[in-house]
Amino acid sequence: GDEGAEAAAGATHASGFFLATFFFIAIVFFGASALICDEPAASARLLSEAPQIGGYFARPIVPAMLVALHDVRSEYYTLKGGHVALVISGDAQNVGTRPLHLVEIDADLIGGGARPIASQSVDCGNELSAKMIGEMTPREIEFSQGLSPQKAFAMEPSESAPFLIVFMNPPAGAGKVRLSVSKAVATATAPDSSAGSRPPA
């Protein structure tokens, strides 16, 4: 009889401890879920700094985080042959820590709706300027906008490079311009050649 009583008491104690542990874990889980839903950005930043699992929550580096656009202007030009062009210019600044050798800027003309009615893309460093387009034909402007930058082009950290986007005969109804950085490719760091060199015999 005594042994049976001791066994029943032990089973009750074990089940109570299990239930308490379960409810504690459930409360922590629901509390963490509520915090993540209320502050997703802060939660992701906090989790990205956690050891071992931080890499799974690290924010991906997007082009907009590496390049900032400054001094953006838009003007209408009348070109040769009476063609009207909307010219958008500005400066792209490298706000990253490594040199960039390819920076692509996208421009969308927005009308009454949310969807763009015209789009154009250019690379920084294609050497097209506002002074040049006054002496160029529409075909020459279109060709120049599609040129890639020189191989030696590099935008060092904190440095800026101008960009110019031309919409030939822009559609009527375009009231807004939306700019975005679609590409920002960093220059790979060359390995130190002296690290693997051997002293002369």
d(CA 174, CA 153): 33
pLDDT score, position 134: 79
Segment among 17-26, 67-76, 167-176 with least mean pLDDT: 17-26
Angle at which helices 2-38 and 40-48 pack, to 10 degrees?
110
Query: Which residue type, as a one-letter code, is found at position 163?
Result: F
Q: Count CA within 13 A, CB hemisphere, residue 75.
A: 12
Residues in the chain: 201
What residues contact residue 153 under an 8 Å CB cut-off, 6+ apart?
101, 124, 125, 161
Q: How confident is the model at residue 165 (pLDDT cuts 50, 70, 90)?
A: very high
Given a cut of 90, whether residue 106 has pLDDT beyond it is yes
Domain locations along the chain: 2-57, 63-186
Q: Are 170 and 119 a contacting pair, CB within 8 Å?
A: no
Rounded CA separation 163/145 (Å): 10
How far is 150 from 39, CA to CA, in rounded Å?
Answer: 44
Is 63-186 CATH 2.60.40? Answer: yes
Which residue intervals of 134-197 are DSSP H helices?
138-145
Residue 194: per-residue pLDDT: 46
Range among 112-116, 137-141, 184-188 with highest mean pLDDT value: 137-141
